[in-house]
């Protein structure tokens, strides 16, 4: 009966502790001023938030590069390790809600002095001491401090998980942008080489004509000047290509080296514009969910700080046995036990507790404003990406017509010069304008494709979860593949590759170090 009473009392204390009051404000999502639609809404937008949008470029090499980056990128692995770190922190914080139980055993052989202040003249001067005990301690969370700390730790864990997803979102976008930029540089190099080759032939013709007395030295020098101008762009572009390959290699998690190419820039598909409402961003963008979890964590810290004003109640106890002979250690007379309770109440702290409350409230305000600003920034990024995508496509159409007009102008100017109707300066002007226009058109095409990437990055969506699953899959792009690509030039037939075929990427497809369970499952 007495044992049952003790059990009932302990259960009542536990139930009262878990149902005790929680100090501090309970979290409520703040009111957000959300516009009904984006300023620059796309008329033909599609609901593609949960699709692997990069496959819409229709380039298998890009798909492999993104898979490789998700499997091997070091930033993703760092983010995964941070999730493990905060998962451990959550477990440590939550453990304070439960009794802490331990056990111990000790054995000693001692001799008591016979010449001290209280001499011992007996055979007991040398004796053995054996002890075994189980001890327990428990802080009753009457005012909810530990529960608030656990709430904050859980929110920090979820924030870290969302931070990992934000890293994945940024990584996919960065790989796609870098690859598009690489193809753009390839195309510009191809234009520069073709223009330089054409001008080299013109210089050769002019040299023959100069020696034959048909053209002046000034016209020859003009032709040579234009040749050197286009030739000078080739090493610049080749350097940019190598640097872009190195940057992309590091994004893949590999050492700097050559990058395999797939389609040419003009052959890449154009992904459709994703649809969505501004309010959707609150759930679709991991950086916004991360900011909200930080706000939840800061809000819980207020209650934890306010609980310091109230008493702290702790229960401790142990049960064990002690005997001078091991054979008697587990007999009835050797039992020892003790139970104790303590209550501590702060009386005067010279502003220590109020200072902690003030800090917690200020941090909560900072987190709130950070969350609100993140939402406004998200709206801005989507609007900017939408208008950029629309206007860049219009610009590309105009520049395409300009290039065609300049090709006609260049052809007609050369025919007029050959017929003696105009000076060579007109030919040079036409060719110079065509060269610059072709480079500009290529850069605009790159900007159009990049705008799609930025738009999908700004919109977020369920595709981040699909990409997250790929971080634990082995990449399909091996170092041998990268080496094979190095021997094929830059993929556009411009011969920029060195043909060594060795490849710096080891392509080992190593698994991320983290094996953390999804943070959403933590209770």
Determine what percent of the chain is predicted with pLDDT higher than 90. Answer: 39
For 205-259, the pLDDT digits (tens) are 878 878 888 778 888 888 888 888 889 999 999 999 999 999 999 999 999 999 9
Domain ranges of the chain: 44-515
pLDDT score, position 418: 78
For 372-392, the pLDDT digits (tens) are 999 999 888 888 888 998 899
For 266-323, the pLDDT digits (tens) are 999 988 877 777 777 788 889 999 999 999 999 999 999 998 898 988 889 888 787 7
> Which range has the worst mean pLDDT, 112-126, 199-213, 442-456?
112-126
What is the mean pLDDT of the segment spanning 114-133? 66
Show the tokens assigned to 343: 């209550």
Residues 220 and 202 sit within 8 Å (Cβ to Cβ) = no
Residues 172 and 189 sit within 8 Å (Cβ to Cβ) = no
3-class DSSP assignment, residue 182:
helix
3-class DSSP assignment, residue 234:
helix
User: Nearest Cα to 84, choosing from 520, 523, 517, 522?
Assistant: 517
DSSP secondary structure string for all residues of 75-98: HHHHHHHHHHHHHHHHHHHHGGGS
Show the tokens assigned to 375: 């939402």
101, with CB counted inside 10 A (0-12, 13-18, 19+), is: exposed
Show the tokens assigned to 347: 């009386």
CATH 3.40.640.10 fits 44-515, yes or no: no
- Full strand arrangement of the beta sheet holding 335-344: 100-111, 126-140, 312-323, 335-344
Q: pTM for the full model? A: 0.78
């Amino acid at each position: 009966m007495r044992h049952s009473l003790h059990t009932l009392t302990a259960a009542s204390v536990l139930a009262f502790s878990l149902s005790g009051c929680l100090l501090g404000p309970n979290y409520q999502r703040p009111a957000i001023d959300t516009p009904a639609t984006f300023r620059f809404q796309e008329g033909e937008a599609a609901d593609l938030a949960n699709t692997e949008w990069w496959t819409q470029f229709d380039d298998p090499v890009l798909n492999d590069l993104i898979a490789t980056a998700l499997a091997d990128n070091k930033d993703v692995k760092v983010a995964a390790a941070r999730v493990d770190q905060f998962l451990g922190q959550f477990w440590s914080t939550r453990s304070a809600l439960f009794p802490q139980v331990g056990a111990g055993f000790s054995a000693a052989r001692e001799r008591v002095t016979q010449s001290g202040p209280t001499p011992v003249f007996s055979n007991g001067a040398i004796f053995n001491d054996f002890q075994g005990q189980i001890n327990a301690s428990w802080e009753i969370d009457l005012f909810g401090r530990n529960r608030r700390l656990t709430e904050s730790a859980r929110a920090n864990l979820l924030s870290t998980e969302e931070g990992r997803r934000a890293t994945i979102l940024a990584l996919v976008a960065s790989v796609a942008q870098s690859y598009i930029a690489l193809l753009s540089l390839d195309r510009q190099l191809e234009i520069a080489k073709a223009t330089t080759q054409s001008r080299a032939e013109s210089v050769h013709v002019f040299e023959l004509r100069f020696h034959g007395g048909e053209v002046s030295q000034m016209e020859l020098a003009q032709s040579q000047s234009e040749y050197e101008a286009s030739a000078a762009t080739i090493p610049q572009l080749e350097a940019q290509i190598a640097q872009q390959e190195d940057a992309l290699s590091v994004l893949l998690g590999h050492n700097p080296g050559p990058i395999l190419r797939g389609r040419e820039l003009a052959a890449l598909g154009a992904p459709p514009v994703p649809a969505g409402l501004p309010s959707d961003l609150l759930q679709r963008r991991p950086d916004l969910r991360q900011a909200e979890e930080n706000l939840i964590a800061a809000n819980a810290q207020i209650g934890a700080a306010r609980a310091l004003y109230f008493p702290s109640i702790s229960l401790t106890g142990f049960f064990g046995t002690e005997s001078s002979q091991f054979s008697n250690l587990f007999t009835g007379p050797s039992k020892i036990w003790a139970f104790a309770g303590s209550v501590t109440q702060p009386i005067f702290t010279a502003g220590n507790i109020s200072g902690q409350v003030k800090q917690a409230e200020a941090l909560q305000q900072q987190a709130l404003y950070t969350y609100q600003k993140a939402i406004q920034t998200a709206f801005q990024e989507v609007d900017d990406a939408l208008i950029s995508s629309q206007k860049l496509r219009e610009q590309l159409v105009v520049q395409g017509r300009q290039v065609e007009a300049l090709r006609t102008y260049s052809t007609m100017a050369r025919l007029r010069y050959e017929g003696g109707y105009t000076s060579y300066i007109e030919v040079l002007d036409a060719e110079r304008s065509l060269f610059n226009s072709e480079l500009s058109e290529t850069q605009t095409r790159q900007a159009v494709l990049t705008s799609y990437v930025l738009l999908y990055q700004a919109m977020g969506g369920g595709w981040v979860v699909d990409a997250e699953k790929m971080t634990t899959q082995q990449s399909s792009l091996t170092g041998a593949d990268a080496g094979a690509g190095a021997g094929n030039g830059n993929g556009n037939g411009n011969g920029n590759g060195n043909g060594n075929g060795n490849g710096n990427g080891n392509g080992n497809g190593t698994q991320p170090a983290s094996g953390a369970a999804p943070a959403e499952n933590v209770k």
